[in-house]
Structure 1
């Protein structure tokens, strides 16, 4: 199967430690992905490579505005300091996704570099890659919003 690679970089107004803590929590992904409607079966653990968290994320797809399909995906997250979050996703239909987020200090904020490698059979590859790119761009905007420093109040 051919792999599709997606990369995106952006800056957020929060320290790397704050961004790392947020991205290391599976429940934080609710809203970071517009498809994600549930996180369940969160199981922290470890193996020979170090700490990890396994969980199930449920993506909801709508077709033609009326048909609904909930897609449970298995996720293995490895969040390691300093500022590296890797997630391996196994989805029904043979879609596999590897996501690597690197956090780099940038002044008082953080540069977020996300790389996604997606593999899927030809019939699903284009759809899955389009969804992954859309989610990646949404995540950048939502994470930026969540990490924004509050500005001065306009109230008198």
Structure 2
């Protein structure tokens, strides 16, 4: 199965604890990806959150297609206040799989450095398309998180 890793690093004017709290809640992912339209069926067990997310695609600009994906989310807070992370897996119909990790490290002057890492695995012929979409989502996620978590100074 073809695979690739995508990384995007950026700064957010919020401490790791604020990033962890925001990204540990599945509902907060709506809007972090322009495709994500719905989050439902959340289950919490042993520090892991399982849920279903719906990605909405427009096909040829005419028809909506809902891609129902299963997501597993883990939040790591053992190193707060200096570091935290959220990671998990996404299983999508059609054989697309993704492991993700958001690692947050505090800056001495405030705010956090975010390392957003995605590991994509796709059936043959889909990797370039999936990687292009995922890279665009990473860039948009950085912008949306910066806006949502901006501290008033």
Q: Settle same-fold status: TM greater than 0.5.
A: yes
Structure 2 residue 152 is matched with structure 1 residue 119: no
Q: Per-residue deviation at 1:125?
A: 1.5
1:137 aligned partner: 139
Match of 2:72 in 1: 76
Distance in 2 of aligned mates of 1:138 and 1:43: 27
Q: Secondary structure at the match of 2:61?
A: coil
CA distance in 1, matches of 2:73, 2:61: 32
- Measure the CA separation in 2 of the matches of 1:80 and 1:70: 31
CA distance, structure 2, for counterparts of residue 57 and residue 14 of structure 1: 26
Unpaired runs of 5+ residues, structure 1, are 152-156
User: TM-score, normalised on structure 1?
Assistant: 0.91
Residue matched to 1:101: 102
Tell me the residue number matched to 1:9.
9
1:18 is aligned to: 18
| Map of 1:62 onto structure 2 | 58
Deviation of residue 21 (structure 1)? 0.2
SS at match of 1:123: coil
TM-score, length basis structure 2: 0.93
- Backbone CA RMSD of aligned residues: 1.0
Paired residues in the alignment total: 147
Q: Return the offset for 1:2.
A: 2.1
Secondary structure of 1:127's partner?
Answer: helix
Structure with higher Rg: it is 1
- 1:110 maps onto 2:112 in alignment: yes
Matched with 2:91 is 90
Alpha-carbon distance between aligned partners in 2 of 1:30 and 1:133, rounded to the nearest angstrom: 17
| Separation in structure 1 between the aligned mates of residue 93 and residue 39 of structure 2, nearest angstrom | 16
List runs of 5+ in structure 2 lacking aligned partners: none
| 1:90-125: CA deviation from partner (whole Å, max 9, x where unpaired) | 000000000011000012101110110000012222
